[in-house]
């Protein structure tokens, strides 16, 4: 029987609170520890946590915490289709959208696995026709560009995936179409993207699960106006990704409609039609299938109960220890791969929207910290930006590095005896050690205290399968942390109040305080 209880009610957590700063990295981090503190991940990736402030005693207590909080059992319940999103009384099925894990969940007579697979196949068939020139724009020209209109999870995840695979696809002959994204309701965003497009050859994807997302519908009208001014029929240049009950469904204003449902939250929707449409059109359906395969392999490994063999679970538990015992307020995601330039922004939403909660899954106030602030930037750019604070600031911020042996294009140059890729990897290795061990100096300005913990996810090359495994690792980490904190990681009430007040402003229904700020902004 599964029991949902707060973190501070767990006996293992009480034991952990007595184990603060048990590890001095400057003293213990050596080659033997680097070799020993490593866990396998899907698709050849590895999770190295040697530079984390944990030892055998802490790991044993984290294992006890995982067992006591029934983290893997709760994951199995999620996969079986139980109501895990208590705030909205919904199942959580983004894992099922990968197609290879989980039960055959049936809802109101509909087999959800079959539903997701049918939508994936519909997208694949549509993309194949676009690539073959069987589906064309209103002037008869074939589509060469796809542009996604969406915000939040309808933009951040798909955009991050596209950018992550763009160079790989070009190098491997998989690039079918260029992709662009319009998200911000600021008209300068839409105008800048549109200015770079040939409208006759552009297919737009409108993504809104509800069909009433204010920013997305405003951008849709912005795009339709652009198409009409160019003498084009918007209905022949636009498809919709939405729910079957939205006003966008089966609408003649779109070439085609592809569906998702309320069981897949926006920030977890890259595995659904939300990510599938743009990735299948840009790179081909087989590339999206490879991405899903890597994610499914990662999902399967997350079922392992031994935390040392379950990288997502281990990563999650170390994060809880850092947040709730060591008191660290934030986490930086630092990919040493330009292809992952928007990956930290996606994880920022996925993590902070999921676990930025102050009540538990039953609506009761919590007395402990939950989700950390998440931010990041690719290396080596970040080294010349905010690493100063990470090295010598007053807050210790745990770091999650990501690095690959090979770049995606094979293009490189040798300077001063080493290639650019070697320099990238050398910087990554150096930063891990510099953060952990620091440096003594008589000059206080040049003194580095060290003891800044980090982990490293490493692999050979960023491919579609590896990207899927990487995304699923972080999604599952977020899930496990939510289970540990006993929060509902799958609703997002925090975004609703601002939406409501925005409607009040536009309708002129304001109190005097809101009216005062609206007045400053010319409303």
Instruction: Show which residues are catalytic.
Output: 353, 384, 499
Three-state DSSP state, 334? strand
Separate counts of helices (H) and strands (E) for the chain: 18, 15
CA atoms within 13 A on the CB side of 419: 10
Q: Which two tokens stand for residue 354?
A: 């999921």
* Nearest C-alpha neighbor of 343 from the set 334, 331, 330: 334
Identify whether the C-beta of residue 400 lies closer than 8 Å to the C-beta of residue 334.
Answer: yes
Helical residues (DSSP H) of 172-260, grouped into ranges: 187-195, 214-229
- Pairwise CA distance, residues 401 & 431, whole Å: 10
CA 385 to chain centre: 23
SS (H, E, C) 358-413: CECCCCCECCCCCCCEEEECCCCHHHHCCHHHHHHCCCCCCEEEEEECCCCCCCCC
Identify whether the C-beta of residue 198 lies closer than 8 Å to the C-beta of residue 145.
Answer: yes
82 φ, ψ to 5°?
Answer: -70, 160
Q: Which two tokens stand for residue 59?
A: 């790991």
- Pairwise CA distance, residues 90 & 92, whole Å: 7
Q: Which two tokens stand for residue 277?
A: 């449409």
Q: Which two tokens stand for residue 429?
A: 């290795």
- Pairwise CA distance, residues 373 & 495, whole Å: 16
| Per-residue CA distances from 394 to 170, 264, 288, 310, 449 (Å) | 44, 39, 43, 32, 10
Strands 145-149 and 106-107, by their bridges, are unpaired
**DSSP one-letter string for 47-102:** EE-TTSS--HHHHHHHHHHHHHTTHHHHHHHHHTT---BTTTTB---TTGGGSSSS
46 φ, ψ to 5°?
Answer: -135, 145
Q: Which two tokens stand for residue 401?
A: 């590095």
Give residue 325's region: left, alpha or beta (phi > 0; psi -120 to 50): alpha
């Amino acid at each position: 029987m599964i029991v949902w209880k707060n973190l501070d009610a767990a006996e293992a957590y009480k034991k952990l609170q007595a184990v603060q700063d048990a590890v001095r990295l400057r003293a213990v981090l050596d080659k033997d520890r680097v070799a020993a503190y490593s866990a396998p991940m899907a698709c050849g990736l590895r999770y190295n946590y040697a530079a984390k402030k944990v030892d055998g005693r802490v790991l044993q207590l984290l294992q006890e915490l995982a067992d006591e909080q029934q983290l893997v059992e709760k994951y199995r319940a999620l996969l079986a289709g139980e109501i895990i999103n208590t705030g909205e009384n919904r199942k959580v099925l983004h894992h099922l959208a990968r197609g290879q894990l989980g039960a055959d969940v049936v809802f109101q007579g509909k087999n959800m696995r079959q539903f997701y697979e049918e939508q994936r196949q519909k997208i694949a068939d549509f993309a194949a026709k676009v690539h073959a020139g069987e589906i064309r724009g209103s002037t008869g020209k074939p589509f060469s560009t796809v542009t996604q209109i969406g915000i939040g999870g309808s933009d951040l995840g798909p955009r991050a995936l596209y950018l992550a695979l763009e160079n790989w696809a070009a190098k491997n002959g998989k690039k079918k179409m260029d992709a662009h994204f319009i998200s911000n309701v600021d008209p300068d965003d839409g105008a800048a993207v549109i200015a770079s497009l040939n409208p006759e050859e552009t297919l737009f994807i409108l993504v809104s699960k509800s069909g009433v997302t204010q920013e997305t519908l405003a951008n849709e009208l912005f795009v339709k106006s652009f198409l009409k001014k160019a003498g084009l029929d918007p209905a022949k240049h636009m498809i919709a990704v939405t729910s079957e009950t939205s006003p966008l469904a089966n609408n003649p204003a779109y070439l085609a409609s592809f569906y998702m449902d309320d069981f897949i939250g926006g920030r977890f929707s890259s595995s659904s039609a939300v990510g599938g449409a743009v990735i299948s059109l840009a790179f081909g359906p087989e590339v999206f299938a490879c991405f899903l395969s890597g994610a499914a392999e990662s999902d399967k490994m997350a079922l392992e109960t031994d935390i040392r063999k379950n990288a997502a679970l281990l990563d999650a538990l170390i994060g809880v220890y850092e947040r709730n015992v060591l008191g660290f307020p934030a986490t930086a995601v630092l990919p040493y791969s330009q292809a992952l330039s928007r990956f930290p922004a996606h994880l920022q939403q996925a993590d902070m929207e999921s676990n930025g909660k102050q009540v538990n899954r039953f609506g009761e106030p919590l007395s402990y910290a939950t989700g950390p602030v998440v931010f990041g930037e690719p290396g080596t750019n970040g080294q010349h930006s905010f690493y100063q604070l990470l090295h010598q600031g007053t807050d210790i911020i745990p770091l999650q590095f990501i690095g690959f042996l090979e770049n995606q294009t094979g293009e490189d140059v040798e300077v001063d005896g080493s290639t650019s890729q070697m320099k990238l990897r050398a910087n990554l290795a150096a930063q891990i050690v510099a953060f952990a061990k620091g440096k003594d100096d008589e000059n206080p300005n040049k003194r580095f205290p060290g003891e800044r913990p980090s982990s490293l996810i490493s692999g050979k090359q960023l491919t579609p399968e590896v990207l899927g495994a990487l995304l699923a690792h972080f999604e599952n980490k977020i899930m496990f942390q939510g289970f540990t904190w006993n929060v509902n990681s799958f609703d997002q009430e925090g975004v609703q109040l601002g939406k409501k007040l925005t409607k009040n402003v536009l309708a002129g229904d304001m109190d005097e305080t809101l009216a005062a700020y609206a007045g400053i902004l010319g409303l």
